[in-house]
Chains A and B, each alone.
Chain A
Amino acid sequence: MTQRRVAITGLGLVSPFGGDLPDFFARLLAGESAVHFLQTDDVPRPLAIPFVSCPGFDADAELGKPLAGTMDRFAQLGTAAAYRAWQDAGLSRGQPAESRENWGVSWGTALGGTLAYEKGYKELWIKGRERVSPLSVILGMNNAANAHISIQLGLGGVSMSHTVACASSAIAIGEAFRRVRSGEAPVMLTGGSDVPQAYGVARAWEALRVMANCDEKTAAQACRPFSAERTGLVLGEGGAALVLEDWEHAVARGARIHGEMVGYGTTCDHSHLVRPDAAGQVRALNMALADAGLTPADIDYVNAHGTATAEGDPVEIAALRTVFGEAAARLAVSGTKSMHGHQLGAAGAIEAIITVLALREQAIPPTAHLGEPDPACAGVDHVGSGRPQQLRAALSNSFAFGGSNAVLAFRAVTP
């Protein structure tokens, strides 16, 4: 079967800095952090954690009050990101001239509508009520975001959600890529969204002892992937979307092409739920390279999973050293979660966008606050400051609890 080339024609996200996409990338290049200190009024013990929010996001204004009222925040952020990517791709939301019955949506979310469920628990157990809102099911269901997006954009093909912890949206993008490349769908809207600030969810992450240590003054620098002084990850909410399109279809309609998606690899460590294994990551990296028809020598940049946990970072670098061999030393690597945090099921999509923008703009955003790299993470070119660089192809890594690994491969488009 002839494989189609896959163009990236739309990028959209709800920025943790509150601005648009160019603003988002410019701030990342400058090493600016969106992390702040979140303090809630929950009783008896408020949340007091480093966090990344989407400031200024007004779901009623962006989606319309009736629609926004039938969505949990994760679906609101996701649908808003999808609208922005759709607009960026120059696609209409009205009645299209061509059929969209085989255009689809592939979405990632680790948590789904946890805020809706938590609200229900509070009603039942704290307020002593006997019932919850009849909208609770449709607010909470994990496929709510992709369902709303399919309905609002009028897409009649596959509409699926992927729940694979921190690799959710990377896998969603990979599966969308396969459908466009095979010719099954000329256009796929893909990405992910998550909202981890439900009280019980945030407390559960605290209990894992993987959250960064900080206070109000140090929150912005709390997430330090690959640093010798890293203390853990920073959670965040977010939504990000990409439009993947059959290359010829994109060219025929005169669409702007941001970059080309060329490969996808996904594997499972099949060894431990939370302790990552370099061997599984190596297989995913090699699979993505083979799928793309690229060799390690073709890759100029890797946007790392890099959560800044004690165990995860050295394993990821070990996997890169294994795959890239002698070329690893010149391989530019950055962990952008240092600035935008970890949006769980949305992280893969946010980082895919960053990787595509790096290729398009020929510039690498840094691992902010890196300081002295951990010797256990040595052997690659850690990018500690944003810099221009000639980039031909790049990878984006997403490695999840459960041992699921996803690697996405992108290539720059020569003007």
Chain B
Amino acid sequence: MLPTMDSLGLIREFLHNRLGVPSERVVADAALVSLGVDSLMMLELMFEFEDRFGITLSKDLKSPKTVGDMTALMDRLRQAKG
């Protein structure tokens, strides 16, 4: 099992660098849209995730709604990759 913090850390780093969101606001039940992640920023976040972990997301992937959904998705895909 991969540590959840790695995925959460990436999201926190991304949101801090791109949107100036403080890390303490990036918690599991926080809605991504409330942190400023609109559809464009979600594309960028997905891109960063793919880039960082060497994963390719399918085009019809449903966008996660919360930070928790996002970390769960990342962890699942990273684990599947091995």
Q: Do A and B come from one complex?
A: yes
Residues of A within 8 A of B (CB): 60, 64-66, 69-70, 131, 133-135, 138
- Contacts A134-B43, A134-B44 supplied; 20 other A-B pairs, CB < 8 Å: A65-B18, A65-B19, A65-B20, A66-B18, A66-B19, A66-B36, A66-B41, A69-B18, A69-B19, A70-B40, A131-B47, A131-B51, A133-B44, A133-B47, A134-B40, A134-B46, A134-B47, A135-B43, A135-B44, A138-B40
Tell me, in angstroms, the Cα distance from A131 to B44 when the chains sit together: 12
Give B residues with C-beta under 8 Å from A: 18-20, 36, 40-41, 43-44, 46-47, 51
Nearest-neighbor residue (CB-CB) of A138 within chain B: B40
Q: Are B19 and A135 in contact (CB under 8 A)?
A: no
| Complex alpha-carbon distance, A60 and B17, angstroms | 11
Chain A residues near B46 (CB, 8 Å)? 134
Nearest chain A CB to B37's CB is how many angstroms away?
Answer: 10
- Residues in A with CB closer than 8 Å to B44 are 133-135
What is the bound-complex CA distance between A254 and B69, given in angstroms? Answer: 53
Complex Cα distance, B16 from A60, in Å, reads 13
CA distance A40 to B62 in the complex (A): 43
Bound-state Cα–Cα, A64 to B18, Å: 10
Q: Compute how far the CA of A198 lies from the CA of B59 in the bound complex, rounded to whole angstroms.
A: 32
Task: Enumerate chain B residues within 8 angstroms of A64, measured Cβ to Cβ.
Answer: 20
Give the chain B neighbours of A131 by CB distance below 8 A.
47, 51
Chain B nearest CB from A139 CB (Å) reads: 10
Whole-angstrom distance between the alpha carbons of A65 and B14 in the complex? 12
Contacts of B51 in A (CB 8 A): 131
Tell me which residues across on chain B come within 8 A of A70, comparing CB atoms: 40
> Nearest A residue to B48 by beta-carbon distance?
A133
Task: Find the B residue at minimum CB distance from A134.
Answer: B43
The distance in angstroms between the C-alpha atoms of A135 and B46, with both chains bound, is 12
B43: chain A residues at CB < 8 Å are 134-135
Q: A65 to B21: give the CA distance in the assembly, Å.
A: 10
Closest chain A residue to B21, Cβ basis:
A66
Cα distance A85–B34 in the bound complex, in angstroms: 31
What's the Cα separation between A70 and B40 when bound, in Å?
9
Q: How far is the CA of A66 from the CA of B51 in the complex (A)?
A: 21
By a CB distance below 8 angstroms, the chain A residues around B41 are 66
A113 to chain B, nearest CB (A): 15
On whether the beta carbons of B40 and A135 are closer than 8 Å, the reply is yes
Can you name 5 A-B pairs with beta carbons within 8 Å?
A65-B19, A65-B20, A66-B41, A131-B47, A134-B47
Q: How far is the CA of A60 from the CA of B20 in the complex (A)?
A: 10
Q: How far is the CA of A134 from the CA of B42 in the complex (A)?
A: 10
Complex-state Cα separation, A70 to B18, whole angstroms: 9
Contacts of A60 in B (CB 8 A): 20
Chain B nearest CB from A180 CB (Å) reads 33
Q: Once the chains are docked, how many angstroms separate the CA of A152 from the CA of B36? A: 16
Docked pose: A65 CA to B18 CA in angstroms: 7
